A = this chain, B = another copy of it.
Amino acid sequence: MNGNFTYCNPTKLYFGVDALENLCLELPKYGKNVMLSYGGGSVKRNGIYEKVVALLKANGKNIIEDGGVMPNPTIERVMEGVGRARMGKADLILAVGGGSVCDYAKAVSVSVNCEEDIWEKYFIRFEDVDCAIVPVGCVLTMVGTGSEMNGGSVITNHREKLKIGHVFGENVFPKFAVLNPEFTFTLPRYQMIAGIYDIMSHILEQYFSGTDDNTSDYIAEGLLRSLIHSADIAAEDPLDYEARSNLMWTATWALNTLIAKGKTTDWMVHMLGQAVGAFTDATHGMTLSAVTMPYYRYILPYGTKKFARYAVNVWGVNEAGKSETAVAYEGLERMEAWMKKLGLVMDLTSLGATKDMLDGMVKSTLIMDGGYKVMNEKDIRAVLSASF
């Protein structure tokens, strides 16, 4: 476990088919005014909205309605929510939805009492929060982002063609999250698959860094094996509770800071995917899957040993009589075949991207320095070009 680090994750998780009932334990801890943030109406169709409203009313809360949060929430929508939270004097923001709604709720949380330009402060200058936050709770209806147990908040600025994430500190983490796997049952298959790949990408972004022998990597391999196993079952039968519950739990632990401990972490697949997302508004997980294979094939020579370990420990590649490089590439081939079988998007064209966007995407890709190769503009162009 390299270096000095701190681990603290105070989010309380309520898991299982009866998890929502625990709102009755949590709501009394907060004031009367609850801003109820949610997405495009699916929570109304599947009855979750109604259940949440009933519990809010039973607990004597005033509800500040805040529906219509879009996937890839925009900075303008965040400011709209800030206005609503201020007007209604929100004591709690209850996010009901997937990662977009949770990310959005955290962005509102840190902005209600902030007088500066939010976009500039948090998403350009990456400054810390220096005002009181409004606490956030989550009722998850879609898994993948891990936003229910971390400080991440990815916000899109269409004017500047940027989609940027700020990782806020533990005081901004949701105070509690309700994880009922059945709440994810009605999600369309495309979204489920995209979420599964988002989980996998989170794990791999942390796994593919460093050359040491780190317990975090062993935990990551365990999560990956569970994920692959349950994804195959859920793809056949989306109503398999065991598989969906494992996916939900894996998603949370894939990105709640645990498996990053003692590691540098990469995150270039996300940076590439977010650049694509800013130009296409495509589903987040699919932007990641579309750039993954070109990126990993590009950096494999700089981290061959780890890619070979990945091939053996996660994909069960038999290494007997093969070079380390051959084993490493065989692992990526297995992964690629699995991704295709699952139905993931494997190229940018399928996401509506066109080659004339290439220059812009290259420019809006943030460069991280924790992976096996620090990319430059030429590298990024090569990877994105290979993704078409």
Interface residue? A253 (CB, 8 A): yes
| Complex interface: chain B residues within 8 A of A253 (CB) | 215, 219, 258
| Least distance between A245 CB and chain B CB atoms (Å) | 4
The residues in A between 258 and 279 inclusive whose CB is less than 8 angstroms from any CB of B are 258, 261-262
- For the complex, what is the distance from the CA of A18 to the CA of B3, rounded to whole Å? 9
Give the interface size bracket for A toward B: 35 or more
Judge if A6 is at the interface, Cβ distance under 8 Å.
yes
Is A283's beta carbon under 8 Å from chain B? no
In angstroms, Cα B246 to Cα A12, docked, is 26
Bound-state Cα–Cα, A222 to B254, Å: 14
Q: Mark A208-224, 1 if CB is under 8 A from B, else 0.
A: 00001111111111110
Q: Which listed residue (B1, B10, B14, B18) contacts A15, Cβ 8 A?
A: B1
A242 at the interface (CB under 8 A from B): yes
Given contacts A230-B213, A249-B262, A262-B245, contact A18 B1 (CB under 8 A): no
A216 vs B222: C-alpha distance in the bound complex, in angstroms?
Answer: 9
Considering the complex, give the chain B residue whose CB is closest to the CB of A19.
B4
A337 within 8 A of B: no
Question: Does A16 make an interface contact (CB < 8 A)?
Answer: yes
**Contact status B15-A8, CB under 8 Å:** no
Q: A321 → chain B, closest Cβ, in Å? A: 16
Interface residues of A in 16-36 (CB under 8 A from B): 16-19, 22
Contacts of A225 in B (CB 8 A): 218, 221
- Determine the distance from Cα of A139 to Cα of B216 in the docked complex, in whole angstroms: 22
Q: Are A1 and B245 in contact (CB under 8 A)?
A: yes
Copies in the complex: 2
Give the residues in chain B near A6, CB-CB below 8 Å.
12-15, 22
**Cβ contact within 8 Å between A16 and B12:** no
- CB nearest neighbor in B for A246: B215
> Which residues of the partner chain B approach A4 to less than 8 Å between Cβ atoms?
14-19
Q: Please report the C-alpha to C-alpha distance between residue A1 and residue B242 in the assembled complex, in whole angstroms.
A: 6
Q: Is the CB of A13 within 8 A of B22?
A: no
Chain B contacts for A223, CB-based, 8 A = 215, 218-219, 222
Check: A9 CB closer than 8 A to any chain B CB. Answer: yes
Q: How far is the CA of A14 from the CA of B11 in the complex (A)?
A: 18
Q: CA of A261 to CA of B229 in the docked complex: distance in angstroms?
A: 18
Complex Cα–Cα for A14 and B221 (A): 24
Pair B246/A214 contact, Cβ less than 8 Å: yes
On chain B, the residues within 8 Å of A226 by CB distance are 215, 217-219
Q: Name A213's contact: one of B1, B9, B229 (CB within 8 Å).
A: B229
Given contacts A15-B261, A215-B249, 18 further A-B contacts (CB under 8 A): A1-B246, A3-B16, A5-B15, A6-B13, A7-B13, A8-B13, A213-B230, A213-B243, A213-B246, A215-B250, A215-B253, A218-B222, A218-B223, A219-B222, A219-B223, A220-B222, A245-B262, A249-B261
A-B contact pairs, 20 of them (CB 8 A): A1-B181, A1-B249, A3-B16, A4-B16, A4-B17, A5-B15, A6-B22, A7-B13, A8-B12, A15-B261, A213-B229, A213-B243, A215-B226, A215-B230, A215-B250, A216-B249, A218-B229, A219-B223, A222-B223, A249-B261
Could you list which residues of chain A lie within 8 angstroms of chain B, going by C-beta atoms? 1, 3-19, 22, 181, 212-223, 225-226, 229-230, 242-243, 245-246, 248-250, 253, 258, 261-262
